Structure 1
Amino acid sequence: MSHITYSASFSPLRRACLGAALALALTGCAGPSVQDYAKEQPQLDLRQYFNGPLTAHGIFTDRSGKVVKRFTVRMTGRWDGEQGSLDEHFVYSDGSTQQRVWHIQHLGDGRYSGRADDVVGEAQGQSAGNAIRWSYVLALPVDGKVWNVNMDDWMYLMDERTLLNRTAMSKFGVHLGDVTLAFVKE
């Protein structure tokens, strides 16, 4: 049996090339910042948009992009100063239903926090321009078990009545799928 030995020492040129390749790879993985949208119009204010009745239509897609479930959400938002609630009623394509009530707080400077019964801990949101990014962990029932899934949730206000939402779902850094929604303010 032959043994292959690798040397851990690299020439300065090789180290520089490896460092540059690593930096390029990490930069390529960096996603957008909410501040990238600071100049976009119309300006998104959750207290205004999520106030009153809304309807949303959405899909869940698996990591390959296949639609695995469709749904409709009827919701009502209410705000009292800096405190808001969003009462969501889901009807899924398989006939199942779900309710989620968000309790949202405006923290100033485009920052929000949110809680719901199936959210682990607290959701953190940051808005700028026409966009908001939410980060939270959702306790998601899957085949009789509950998975704590990381949600990277982006919303974009298109006009005074329409908001688009895309959420990337992951666990242990592995992309599980996406949620895509179109909200319409009634």
Structure 2
Amino acid sequence: MTHHFSRRRMLVAASALSVAAISGCASPEISDYAAERPALDLQTYFNGTIDAWGMFTDRSGKVVKRFTVVLDCKWQGNTGTLDEDFTYSDGTKQRRVWTITKLADGRYSGRADDVVGEAQGQARGNALRWNYTLALPVDGKVWNVQMDDWMYLMSDRVLLNKTVMTKFGITLGEVTLSFTRRS
């Protein structure tokens, strides 16, 4: 009986440790930033011309590509257009035009030509979490990769962005961006 009781106690303890370990690795939630200031309002921040500098790092942390972006942003009511012009370190250029819709409760939806379906996001406090599938050209093929995009407003002019890119749950790399609104 004592052996059975000890074994059961060890199983309960192991289960508790497993739950603690899993919750210790839990991802942040947008609600974690609700009290952070300055508050991020996409209609206010993404309005006018914004310059951005970014890089893509592979899963080993090596910088694979650097780029700059000039964004021309306009809103009409609850619909915004973010016209992004990318210039990569290898000289190539790309353009992405987002159509963003402000919804209730700090939520946003968005579409762009190379986004599969609709992007979904929510802002709380100084942060925005944006999730979408990007059709990414790689070596003559197109990969649909999942983008877990976090933006943090640092001041009325500076916004930092970190995106984790995955496919089949495997991290491919990260995109890091710094946005600065022109005065």
TM-score (norm 2): 0.93
Which whole-Å CA distance do the structure 2 matches of 1:111 and 1:57 have between them?
26
Unpaired segments of 5 or more residues in structure 2? 1-6
Which whole-Å CA distance do the structure 2 matches of 1:25 and 1:175 have between them?
21
Unpaired segments of 5 or more residues in structure 1? 1-10
Which whole-Å CA distance do the structure 1 matches of 2:36 and 2:159 have between them?
14
Which whole-Å CA distance do the structure 2 matches of 1:148 and 1:22 have between them?
33
Q: Are positions 1:145 and 2:141 aligned together?
A: yes
> What percentage of residue pairs aligned between the two structures are identical?
62
Q: CA deviation at 1:16?
A: 1.4
Tell me which residue corresponds to 1:123.
119
Which whole-Å CA distance do the structure 1 matches of 2:96 and 2:14 have between them?
48
Tell me which residue corresponds to 1:111.
107
**What is the CA deviation profile of residues 22-78 of structure 1, one whole-angstrom value per residue up to 9, with x for unaligned ones?**
212321221111111111111100001101111100000001111000000011111
What number of residue pairs does the alignment pair up? 177
Give secondary structure in 1 for the equivalent of 2:12: helix
Opposite residue 69 of structure 1, the aligned amino acid is K
Tell me which residue corresponds to 1:171.
167
Q: Are positions 1:86 and 2:82 aligned together?
A: yes
Which whole-Å CA distance do the structure 2 matches of 1:22 and 1:118 have between them?
40
**What is the CA deviation profile of residues 153-181 of structure 1, one whole-angstrom value per residue up to 9, with x for unaligned ones?**
00001111100000011111111110000
The equivalent position to 1:98 in structure 2, one of 94, 119, 127, is 94
Give secondary structure in 1 for the equivalent of 2:103: strand
- Moved segments of 4+, more than 4 Å: none
Tell me which residue corresponds to 1:162.
158
Tell me which residue corresponds to 1:59.
55
Which whole-Å CA distance do the structure 1 matches of 2:22 and 2:111 have between them?
32
